[in-house]
Chain A
Amino acid sequence: MSVFALAAALALVPLAARSADDGEWRMPARDYAATRYSPLADISVANVRSLKEVWQFTTGVQAGHEAAPLAAGGLIYVVTPYPNYVFALEPGGKVRWKYDPGVKASAQGVACCDVVNRGAFYDAGRLFFNTLDGQAIALDAKSGRELWRAKLGNIAAGETITMAPLVVKGKVLVGNSGGELGVRGWLVALDAKSGKPLWKAYSTGPDKDVLIGPAFKPFYSSDRGQDLGVKSWPPHAWQIGGGTVWGWISYDPQLNLIYYGTGNPGPWNPEQRPGDNKWTAGVFARDPDSGEARWFYQFSPHDLHDYDAVNENLLLDLSLDGKIRRVLVRPERNGYVYVLDRASGEVLSATPYVHITTSTGVDLKSGRIQYNPQKEPKAGRAVRDICPASPGAKDWQPSAYSPRTGLLYIPHQNLCQDEETYQASYIAGTPYVGAEVLMRPGPGGHRGEFSAWDPVAAKKRWAVAENFPVWSGALATAGDVVFYGTMDGYFKALDARSGEVLWSFRASSGIIGQPITYRGLDGKQYVAVLSGVGGWAGAVVSNDIDTRDGSAALGFANAMRDLPKYTVKGGMLHVFALP
């Protein structure tokens, strides 16, 4: 081909697709701003109806598949739930290589909510991922050869890792899971070359452990003061206080800040840990080079309902009151969509996107959520209509944002719960008193929703009601199509502007994975998603839980009794394209 012919051929490719994007999908959120938006537009509202499955791959693993597949260098990478196999697949599904990290089987009994993994990260020919038994591992992406592994978590103490790492400036950022079990939360930065730890920031304890120094300037006065990670707890309680880091991390290269959330405080009941319980259930902004904290905002001070604050932080530049503001948008577990100034941590708005009874609003002056005392759990008292339920308005499942429509696409729950009379339960020889938690559908009777949210107007533009919680991630594309999966196995494409369902595909197992789209080496646009029901919501199927016991799966079984009628377990990668 002559130079002229090449130039002519390139000219046929839309400019945006060529210059701004190579068509790869290298991290679960696709970009550091966590938008899950692809500029690919070959698949569009005009033609998505003819989308077809072109190949599939069975992982051979039965637990819940929450991961995003990755597409880089012509290969597709999949990390499975425990035993955390990694597959590198050629187009068509042939296995280029498979890697088995040899995860300790005992890690399964420690994980709270199925043995999930939320994905890997591809960077400069290397693949980074975490294992359930608390290791971070780097592989050569071409060969599957192990480059290093770092043992980070102690499963004997209840510590697991389920999150996908984020690689920023040559550092692999990894956080832990296990807040219910007396684990103290942390985020660690490892040297991407060697796996050597560079800094570690705890979510509780003295300022030196939390990496709080002179550069820490939280917006609200309630977050200012010395060693609040100790003083906002009863003595010693911070040592086992939770605040684990099992969700998503975003990065703003201009401000040079990473953003991530911290899990709920534990393992004491609320009345036994008076205080704000810092720095749990909030969001940290940190300098990725030193780990130093810059600001913190607490969505749920002194959390009462297991409202972990680990959800995704979308970094958007929005026009608010005539000014372009650099914001962080967070559809939070406690039921509000928050818009924060991401340089300062100021709350610009906090608006309910589901039915909420546990609080009455967020005071923008103090930044503080206003709890409803009637829904506060107390020993020996039955509390009904706790909305949202413990998994929150939305759990880990990440939303997407399209700059073309200006809408945030939120996959979420519509669940409330009752905490009934206390009953005897049992662990390791010791009977104890537990709450019987029973979850059930919220208003309207459906258990899930896929909502399009306008973060500027702070309004829901449209929503699709789903029978089951929408436990999958969302994907938005420049073709003005949005994708998500359902627990009863449908993979759906919607018109991003109207919410009209344009196309669907039925997988044999329910979908709780994160859809992606990429351009193959053949120049075609593909869409891919993992099916394989499970997770906390789907454990009734993936773990064969006896649904006669509604309080199983920490009370989720009650709301999911009928799921086994709709789907079976088993992981599979599905890849779609236009004919």
Chain B
Amino acid sequence: MSLRCLSALLLFFSNSVLSTELRVCAESDNLPFSHIERTGFENRIAALVAFDLGADLVYSWQPQRRGFVRKTLGAGLCDVWMGVPADYPRVLTTRPYYRSSYVFVYGKRSLRSFDDPALRALRIGVQLPGTDMAQTPAGHALAARGAIDNVVGFPIYGEQPAAQRIVQAIAQGALDAGVVWGPAVGFFAHRERLSIAKAAAPELPFEFSIAIGVRRDARELRDALDAALARREVEVARILDEYGVPR
């Protein structure tokens, strides 16, 4: 089979598996990622991909908590989960459409490195994922350098996104800085005119590649999404810039 024949066949398959709907499960109140008013950047990218594939975008709004995969993709409520780490074991993932990292976020007093001599003196906020023996790499890196008493944890469960609460605390002077997942915080930091800088420590991954997740047996859908992401790379990058996603 020639290469051209093969790609024509794939295109045929990718259109047929989608039927006419792209069904997405997303959280209704988790800006800048997603919102019920479809104002998050993952909403925007999903709309772009659906447009590319000629499908209608249909949402099932679900809190992104324990058992999310089982209760959404697993229960047949939707076919697509936007924004999961590439190679996340519970789903089949597309090619990554962005790679970002944890960042330092700060106001007047800059904090750009875990080697900063003031690391144990500045008041620093981090996100708390809330599972036994789980922590953000930022939390681990701070603890490993003895920054414990001056670090404040913000549970991801709560009325507003943890990143938003951390930014507010810095803006109000209750904290000096934060070490937060970049895509979660860039948007809020920009609005409060705070600075951000890439965070890294040798012992742990601080960068993660982000992809779209589908059910583990939905190979054809995954391939169709891969093709759409490849075609829309420039537009995707523009959306990520608009929401201040550091890359």
How far does the alpha carbon of A108 sit from the alpha carbon of B65 in the complex, in Å? Answer: 9
- Which has the most chain A C-beta neighbours within 10 Å: B85, B153, B184? B153
How far does the alpha carbon of A369 sit from the alpha carbon of B71 in the complex, in Å? Answer: 41
Q: Is there contact, CB below 8 Å, between A427 and B33?
A: no
From A43-51, A229-237, A248-256, A313-321, give the one contacting chain B: A229-237
Mark interface residues in A270-287 (1 if CB within 8 Å of B CB, else 0).
Answer: 011110000000000000
Q: Is there contact, CB below 8 Å, between A429 and B64?
A: yes
Cβ < 8 Å to A, chain B residues 142-191: 142-144, 148-153, 155-159, 161-162, 181, 183-184
Q: Is there contact, CB below 8 Å, between A268 and B203?
A: no
- The residue from B27, B127, B129, B184 contacting A425, defined by CB atoms under 8 A apart: B129
- The residue from A266, A419, A423, A430 contacting B181, defined by CB atoms under 8 A apart: A430
Chain A residues near B64: list those with CB within 8 A. 427-429
Q: Is there contact, CB below 8 Å, between B143 and A433?
A: no
From B47-55, B132-140, B192-200, B218-226, give the one contacting chain A: B132-140
- The residue from B34, B66, B142 contacting A112, defined by CB atoms under 8 A apart: B66
Q: Is there contact, CB below 8 Å, between A271 and B143?
A: yes
How far does the alpha carbon of A544 sit from the alpha carbon of B67 in the complex, in Å? Answer: 11
Q: Is there contact, CB below 8 Å, between A435 and B181?
A: no
Q: Is there contact, CB below 8 Å, between A433 and B136?
A: yes
B136 to chain A, nearest CB (A): 5
- The residue from A266, A379, A426 contacting B140, defined by CB atoms under 8 A apart: A379
B90 to chain A, nearest CB (A): 6
Chain A residues near B208: list those with CB within 8 A. 424, 431
Least CB separation from B131: chain A residue? A180
Chain A residues near B204: list those with CB within 8 A. 379-380, 422, 433
Mark interface residues in A361-385 (1 if CB within 8 Å of B CB, else 0).
Answer: 0000000000000000101100000
How far does the alpha carbon of A271 sit from the alpha carbon of B139 in the complex, in Å? Answer: 10
Cβ < 8 Å to A, chain B residues 55-69: 62-68
A156 proximal to B (CB < 8 A): yes
Chain B residues near A428: list those with CB within 8 A. 27, 30, 33, 64-65, 156, 161
B84 proximal to A (CB < 8 A): yes
B196 to chain A, nearest CB (A): 16
B34 to chain A, nearest CB (A): 8
Q: A429-B184, A430-B136 known; 16 other A-B pairs, CB under 8 Å? A: A182-B155, A240-B153, A240-B155, A267-B155, A272-B142, A379-B203, A380-B204, A424-B205, A427-B156, A428-B30, A428-B156, A429-B161, A430-B181, A432-B136, A433-B140, A543-B67
Listed in ascending order, the chain A residues whose CB lies under 8 Å from chain B are 106, 108-112, 156-158, 180-182, 234-237, 240, 266-269, 271-274, 306, 377, 379-380, 390, 419, 422-435, 437, 543-546, 549, 552, 554
